[in-house]
Amino acid sequence: MPREYRQHVFKSPQGATDILLIRHGESQPAIVDQPFPMKDGHGDPALHSNGHLQAEAVAERLKSRPINTIYVTTLQRTHQTAAPLAKALGQVPKIEPDLREVCLGEWDRGLYRVKAAESDPIFLKSMQMQEWGIIPGAETNDQVKARVTAGLYRIADAHPDELVAAVVHGGVIAAILSIATGAEAFAFMGAANGSISRIVIDKDRMIVRGFNDTSHLD
């Protein structure tokens, strides 16, 4: 019999960390003249009722996975999204503050959504230029990427050869996948609420294994 050479099947390198990036569930809508509460300089809305359903769906999808640790950010929508999964796994989530959402400066507390819906010229320029820093007082792309990278590598250093879940934000997922792939800054904007993306961190490189998986939400 001739020797057979099967197609390669991906396996995480020894010592690497497998990270499931879960976007938080849908948060409360923005309402003009009713700004979101603030937390550490960021708008901090709670989950919408639909967001709680998405969180339950995430837990149902992942409860049988060998997740070692769940991470959340400082913002309550990530805590609320992680709660059903944490309960199912009997875990207490850890906080990684550097994975919090992009600071939107003067447009935080919900104003960003209003400006986007109204096609404000500054919003349109920010999207065209793919640069957060065009928004008054907002973080720049470089600032976002620097802190997100720091947060990810703290997690990776703490969890070699382990699977972890990190409940984070849409802007953060976009930044991570841009860093990992070298794609344009906003190439991965738009991950759905409750979606699951996946990266593997192996020493000084990031390997993308999935983006915007929503099969559990259908």
Query: Does 23 score more than 90 pLDDT?
Result: yes
Confidence (pTM) = 0.95
Q: Tell me what the mean pLDDT of segment 130-158 comes to.
A: 98
Tell me the two tokens of residue 18.
């497998």
Query: 139: buried, middle or exposed (CB in 10 Å: 19+, 13-18, 0-12)?
Result: buried
Name the CATH architecture for the domain at 17-27+41-103+139-217: 3-Layer(aba) Sandwich (3.40)
pLDDT digits (tens, 9 = 90+) for 145-203: 999 999 999 999 999 999 999 999 999 999 999 999 999 999 999 999 999 999 999 99
Domain residue spans in the chain? 17-27+41-103+139-217
DSSP states along 182-207: ---TTTTTTPPTT-EEEEEEETTEEE
Helices (H), the chain: 49-62, 76-89, 111-117, 121-129, 141-158, 170-181
Nearest CA to 194 out of 88, 54, 67 is that of: 54
Q: Tell me what the mean pLDDT of segment 27-33 comes to.
A: 94
Which residues are CB-contacts of 131 (< 8 A; sequence separation ≥ 6)? Answer: 140, 141, 185
Give the pLDDT of residue 143. 98
Task: Tell me the pLDDT of the chain averaged across its residues.
Answer: 97
Give the pLDDT of residue 128. 97
Report residue 218's pLDDT band, with 50, 70 and 90 as the boundaries: confident
Give the pLDDT of residue 28. 97
